[in-house]
Amino acid sequence: MTSRTQVAILGAGPSGLLLSHLLGLAGVESVVLELRSRSHVMSRIRAGVLEHGTVELLTAAGLGERAAREGLGHEGVELASSDASFRVDFRARTGKSVTIYGQTELQKDLFRARDEAGGVVLDEVSDVVIHDADGSAPRVTYTRNGEAAVVCADFVAGCDGHHGVSRATFPAALLRTYERVYPFGWLGVLSETPPVSHELIYSGHERGFALCSMRNPSLSRYYVQCSLDDQVAAWSDALFWDELRARLPRAAAERLVTGPSIEKSITPLRSFIAEPMRFGRLFLAGDAAHIVPPTGAKGLNLAVSDVELLARALVSFYADDSEALLDAYSATALERVWKAVRFSWWMTNLLHRYDDEDAFARRLKRAELSYLGGSLNAQAAFAENYVGLGR
């Protein structure tokens, strides 16, 4: 079976579906191919912090109604150490805020929007191969329901994640990759308990990092830094709550409400960037091109930024017969990516405990947190990066 579309999109995660939606609003046809089942894609527990610009884009695209109704607006975060804690006021420093809205919920909104618009989203495909990416007529072959098929397109968008086929299609001589693997992970717990605070708490304790987050007023998401050798089964709920409590400021520890975990997992941390993000008529977006530690809440937001740029470039190609934005896509996207990678790397280093760091390094971190707590200019820089750099 052979079909034809303008843009073939690999991956039905947030970046792939959002790209399809934005193109559809402009009258550009697309087909989305996804390896996993829809239920699997919608069940993945991921990020929950939406930058100011991400919320603006979703609202403009008609996707922000439920996030506005059910999301939690946050105008600051608390940063803590073993010694003290302080709040960074986003609204006062930047005039902006962030929204807590789980990626799982955004994924539901995107699937619903594509269904209502009659978008073509094919799940549970296999044997996906991109052909002639550097030519004028790329195509994607795949198998679905035991039947071989091909979709011919003008362009291919690789939104298929870190392990997808899109980046692997780039010639080795063209691709440059940069990576930093961190020597620890995050043990995350989801619990049906009220959040310990109405805003996020980032704690850089001498025992290791901890984060208090939430999905809604009755669903909390907590993390503690752990060894990469740890196994989830070794962490009972009681052990997790004890360790989290030990790493929090005293006031937060005293009001922490605990309960049975409904999900528990360990996430390794890494920074990864691939350059360029274009090979011929194949473009990378989101995790296919870059990975950041979750410390700075940048992963989903970077994917949205990529997609916004790519959609604008593709629409310009069809509306104006111009390739200028397509030619600029990789360099423009990577400029923002590297700035976000820098911020996530900085936050990760500042708040986590490294086994091999000496007393000098630990005292420097204490000094930097103290400086951040006492300097409005430093807080303004932190807030600007956290709420999202201008697009």
Which positions are catalytic? 74, 202, 294, 298, 386
Do 119 and 20 touch, CB atoms closer than 8 A? yes
CA distance 355 to 136: 52
For the chain, the farthest-separated pair of C-alpha atoms sits apart, in whole angstroms, at: 65
Two structure tokens written together for 78: 């608390």
CB-CB neighbours of 200 under 10 Å: 22
Pick the closest to residue 182 from 140, 228, 215, 136 (CA basis). Answer: 228
Burial 284-319 (b: 16+ CB within 10 A, else e): bbbbbbbbbbbbbbbbbbbbbbbbbbbbbbbbbbbe
Q: Which residues, including other chains, have CB under 8 Å from residue 350's CB and lie 6 or more apart? A: 204, 365, 368, 369
